[in-house]
Amino acid sequence: MVTQPQSAPETLPVASLDDPSLYISRELSWLQFNDRVLEEALDPRNPLLERLKFVAIYGTNLDEFFMIRVAAIKQQIDAQIVRRSEDGRLPVEHLAAISERLRESLPRQMRVLNDELLPALEREGIVLTQIVDLDEETQAALERTFDDTVFPVLTPLAVDSGHPFPYISNLSLSLAVELEETTRDGVELHFARIKIPPTLPRFVPVESKRPGERRFVLLEDLIAHHLDGLFPGMHVRDSYLFRVTRDADLDLQEDEADDLLRAIESELRRRRFGEPVRLEVERGMPEYIREFLCNSLELTHVDSYEIEGLIGLSDLWQIINLPGYDQLRDKPFLPSIPKRLIGVTDIFALIREGDILLHHPYESFDPVIQFLQQAAEDPKVMAIKATLYRTSGKNSPIVRALLTAAENEKQVAVVIELKARFDEENNIDWAKRLERAGAHVVYGFANQKVHGKTLLVVREDEDGLRRYMHFGTGNYNEKTARLYTDLSLFTCRPELGTDDAQLFNALTGFSRITDYEDLWVAPVTLHRELLSRIDRETEHARAGRPAGIRAKINAITESDVIRALYRASQAGVPIDLLVRGMCVLRPGVPGVSENIRVRSIVGRFLEHSRIFVFRNGGEREVYISSADWSGRNLDRRVELATPILDPVMAETVDTQILGVLLADNVKSRELREDGTYQRLSPGPREMPIDAQRVFLTQAQALG
């Protein structure tokens, strides 16, 4: 860290740091992050299918935002909570602000899809067509497809005095069908709902006579085209697509969760029945039908969004993952293996020689798997302990290695987080299999998620028992390790081994440890140590000693940390933050945060690693962590921050990783004082720096 502390301005009263004008709305900040994802879809420098991927990610992110964040706000409104957020808004005001913001950004999303990406895909031979535009022969073939594979699974549901409004499951697509029936008394209007079967492909292949062309029609269009066969004796006036989003967060009461496994399984069954939080309707739906749907779902127009184009963008993955079309994707890359690890058969011997640091996805995740697989088979290994948050599903090599270790009669203890959102079912399955294999399985806690990532191996070496550890910023998931940027540390340092063993004792037993020597552990010490380090930089700056803070995190929302950073800025501490997602802190405010710079990088890989660097009067401290600077991470989860004790390695993390990221002027956006983000671009005499591309180039050169 080379930035020198600036002269300290006159310090404002601490009370002024609670002023709502100094804070950005969490929800609006998250929506801005998703807008940055959408910017990647708008960027013609990205390959076509990668741009389509960012549209799909934007939609999937938004679905989760409604299922979790908006659902929580609506619960607050229902509970008549009037507490204001840091930025001064009431829950009802936040809901209105979200709705207003989305009505600006959703049209941009649909414009890029409808006006740019779909026409570009058509030019490349991937065509989404309308049934009416097909010739008679092709339409006849589609009719046979409908009769054979679609019609048998459809269930039209009437809605009238004898048929109440049907339950509509979370994120399911439906057709609202208007029907006319001619009776003696005249024409009667009827309403029916048809669920679009989620078990069938959304994009239905259509035979094409052009070589190399792939044509598709939407499943809902195919169904709508054949509605007459579903309602014989009725006249189909029209049909309109809609989708409902429901509250999908688990709601566990601690006193009701004595059997956490059973409680989670019960909540998963209830998830699909959560309260409605959003209604999406296709453009052109008559207002009276939209009103009817809102009333039936107990939603208001604030909760209803008109979509011009495809509803349910996550289904675009069917197109994104089409085989072939390599020219429309990012160039594939093979993660490198550091020279020190090439051909290594005994990873424990290598760790004894010194700590090992890996930078994923640029460097391979295979050594992490090898570490556990060797431990599972090594007769000298006595015990293996692990925390698992998200794995790669049914064939996870990490969990298979733990199963092998248990079958080899090693003492295996696994803390599996059953509440890992949307991975609960996977984790329940693994927990049961590990228990059957003889492993000790701990299901975490009802009121805390275990989010820290660590593996601990106890081995009987020639000179006695030794603890070997892996600490990571990311999940034990070899698939996401090729998509997310993360850091891995292997070490057998005794001081870290003692702390890690104490942590596992606290997770699996009744240990009530309140302090650790080197590890920062939430919710026990991490929050306290972080505030202490920020305050120490403040004191260094006031005393004229070298001071500075650089950090890479996914979110910063915790008010005590933000106030501490404001005080540090007032004392003249230069603070550089890379915050991928939500940032409640407002930089650049005169007299408060003018020494704070906040940037965000959205690129090919999801920026997931967390790094904390403190200049500390010239005695630099570097940590890697699983924790963001938010209340849930610091106070309501089990998280880890691990010091990088090797000075050469600390220099690498600070300058060769974090320094390059902070220098990015291609994929980086800077947060301005007014709460908006400005995309950076190299000046006339500046070299373009795309940090992720730099790391890829370096890895390929070493591979």
Q: Which residue has the tokens 């550890």?
A: 469
φ, ψ at 553 (rounded to 5°): -145, 170
Pick the last residue of a domain from 328, 355, 379.
Answer: 328
**From the CB of residue 10, how many other CB atoms can be counted at a distance below 10 Å?**
6
- CATH code of 274's domain: 3.30.1840.10
Give the chain's length. Answer: 703
Would 44 be classed as within a structural domain? no
pLDDT given at position 78: 86
pLDDT tens digits along 583-604: 999 999 999 999 999 999 999 9
Number of H helices, E strands in the chain: 21, 27
Question: Is the pTM above the cut of 0.95?
Answer: no
**Strand pairing partners for 195?**
174
Residues 480 and 405 in one domain: yes
Would 38 be classed as within a structural domain? no
Residues 373 and 499 in one domain: yes
Least confident of 282-291, 297-306, 427-436, 504-513: 427-436
Residues 354 and 419 in one domain: yes
C-alpha 393/C-alpha 460 separation (Å) is 32
User: Can you tell me whether residue 626 is helix, strand or coil?
Assistant: coil
pLDDT given at position 397: 93
Would 62 be classed as within a structural domain? no
Most confident of 7-11, 188-192, 445-449, 656-660: 656-660
pLDDT tens digits along 11-45: 444 448 999 999 999 999 999 999 999 999 999 99
User: Can you tell me whether residue 77 is helix, strand or coil?
Assistant: helix
pLDDT tens digits along 634-691: 998 999 999 999 999 999 999 999 999 999 999 999 999 999 999 999 988 899 999 9
Would 85 be classed as within a structural domain? no
Mean pLDDT, the chain, rounded, equals 90
Statement: residue 260 has pLDDT above 70? no
Residues 430 and 347 in one domain: yes
Would 306 be classed as within a structural domain? yes
pLDDT given at position 249: 67
Overall domain count for the chain: 3
Pick the last residue of a domain from 500, 518, 536.
Answer: 518
Pick the last residue of a domain from 289, 309, 328.
Answer: 328
Name the E strands within 247-327. Answer: 276-282, 304-307
Residues 102 and 229 in one domain: yes
Statement: residue 5 has pLDDT above 60? no
* Per-residue three-class SS string for 175-201: EEEEEEEEECCEEEEEEEEEECCCCCC
Query: Please, are residues 392 and 402 in contact by the beta-carbon 8 Å criterion?
Result: no
Retrieve residue 55's tokens: 């549209």
Would 54 be classed as within a structural domain? no
C-alpha 551/C-alpha 345 separation (Å) is 35
Would 57 be classed as within a structural domain? no
- % pLDDT > 70, the chain: 92
Give the residue with greater pLDDT, 419 vs 508.
Answer: 508
Burial class (CB in 10 A: 0-12, 13-18, 19+), 691: buried
Element (H, E) at 496: helix 494-508
pLDDT given at position 444: 66
Residues 303 and 354 in one domain: no
Residue 385's domain comprises 339-518
Please report, in angstroms and rounded to a whole number, the separation of the first and last CA atoms in the chain: 29
Statement: residue 296 has pLDDT above 70? yes
264 — pLDDT class (breaks 50, 70, 90): very low
Residues 319 and 454 in one domain: no
Residues 452 and 533 in one domain: no
pLDDT given at position 200: 96
Among the listed residues 284, 66, 293, the one whose alpha carbon sits nearest the alpha carbon of residue 166: 293
For 415-449, give the DSSP string. EE-TTSTT-HHHHHHHHHHHHHTT-EEE--BTTBE
Residues 494 and 555 in one domain: no
Retrieve residue 450's tokens: 């275990």
Sign of CA dihedral 291, 294, 297, 299: negative
Residues 119 and 268 in one domain: yes
Phi-psi region of 125 (alpha: psi -120 to 50; beta: other; left: phi over 0): left
Would 40 be classed as within a structural domain? no
- CATH code of 576's domain: 3.30.870.10
Concerning whether 451 is annotated as a catalytic residue, the answer is: yes
Residue 505 identity (one-letter amino acid) = N
Residues 545 and 676 in one domain: yes
Residues 378 and 420 in one domain: yes
Query: Please, are residues 102 and 32 in contact by the beta-carbon 8 Å criterion?
Result: no
pLDDT tens digits along 148-160: 999 999 999 988 8
Select which of 94, 225, 451, 608 is catalytic: 451
Statement: residue 242 has pLDDT above 50? yes
Residue 461 identity (one-letter amino acid) = D
pLDDT given at position 271: 44
Retrieve residue 376's tokens: 């599972």
User: Can you tell me whether residue 121 is helix, strand or coil?
Assistant: helix
